[in-house]
Amino acid sequence: MKIAILSRNKDLYSTRRTVEAAEQRGHEAYVLDVLKCYMDITSHRPAIYHKGEKLEGFDSLIPRIGASVTRYGTAVLRQFEMMGVYPINESVAITRSRDKLRSLQLLSRKGVGLPVTGFAHSISDTNELIKLVGGTPLVIKLIEGTQGRGVVLAETKKAAESVIDAFRELDANFIVQEFIKEAGGSDIRCFVLGDKVIAAMQRTAAEGEFRSNLHRGGSAQIVKLTKEERATAVQAARVMGLNMAGVDILRSNRGPLVMEVNSSPGLEGIEKATGKDIANMVIEFIEKNAKPYKTKTRGKG
Ligand code: ADP
Ligand code: MG
């Protein structure tokens, strides 16, 4: 197969490993920088050019679109979809997953366990919002943050009010969420591929920190999931429409709660923590599933 990997940097661990695995399994792999792609959307025959070269003959693609280029990146992906190229994750699903509020709404509609979460626009609702999530301590999150940036723990009502007011002042979109204290600064990353969790790790926050992101100094260990956790992760990915997803779960007193669903889950942390060849499994999945014009939402949304 001829496989495209949409990534801004071929030296990133996840990109490098994906290319390696594709080549090892006898495929041709090309790393395409979405920002260097331009599209012909005027004719009935959609085309894409990359650094001046017309892209042709691709069978499948693995989007690894950074959060900062979601809009343009998903437009390029949509163009590939119109050309019939099979993406492991579709543009519509990626767009959904990038908006925390929209994701939580989709998940709640299908009954997936979630932390109690509030969202409001008007200033006068600050107190109501705080009450809605059960008071402090609570977590405040910017809707489009990643890697723990824009996630704040407010331990007192005063702190919560000042942060909420400050975010409002900046016109930022945010959600207010119940703080799951019993998770103890840990969360679980489930790597979902198709209808299976193929690897999982527990991430634990560094001393004095509640965010377990590896980018924030968190550490990772292998973890054994319960049946319920597995089922929750697989359901969350399915609801979002993602074939490949990193589903983050908090272990709470009332069972697994989904915190977020990531459409470009990194390979480095999870391959190192579990010793599994995830990149190889991703390519294998594509071999089994790639067919021309197979996307459900081709060119839509
Ligand atoms: P990001 O997209 O920036 O990674 P997350 O929602 O994943 O944002 O939050 C970052 C980290 O903060 C999580 O990995 C988790 O350790 C911690 N955290 C987030 N929300 C909660 C919560 N409601 N209760 C307890 N810890 C949380
Ligand atoms: Mg996270």
Which residue puts its alpha carbon closest to atom 15 of ligand 1?
211
Domain 117-179 fold is: Dna Ligase; domain 1 (3.30.1490)
Does the pLDDT at position 62 exceed 80? yes
Domain 2-95 fold is: Rossmann fold (3.40.50)
Does the pLDDT at position 243 exceed 80? yes
Instruction: Report the chain's mean pLDDT, rounded to a whole number.
Output: 93
Distance between Cα 56 and ligand 1 center (Å): 41
Which tokens sit at 78? 């949509």
Q: pLDDT band for position 271 (50/70/90)?
A: very high
Contact 277, 21 (CB under 8 A): yes
Q: Is the CB of 73 under 6 A from ligand 1?
A: no
Above pLDDT 70, what percent of the chain?
A: 98
Q: For the residues 29-41, what does the mean pLDDT come to?
A: 94
Q: What is the pLDDT of residue 100?
A: 84
Which tokens sit at 266? 């990194």
Domain segments of the chain as ranges: 2-95, 117-179, 182-284
Q: Which residues contact 6 (CB under 8 A, 6 or more apart)?
A: 32, 34, 61, 62, 63, 64, 65, 73, 76, 77
Q: Which CATH number fits domain 182-284: 3.30.470.20, 3.20.20.70, 3.20.190.10, 3.20.20.140?
A: 3.30.470.20
Q: For the residues 211-233, what does the mean pLDDT come to?
A: 95
Which residue puts its alpha carbon closest to atom 21 of ligand 1?
179
**What's the CA gap between 241 and 98, in Å, rounded?**
13
Q: Which residues contact 100 (CB under 8 A, 6 or more apart)?
A: 141, 143, 144, 145, 175, 260
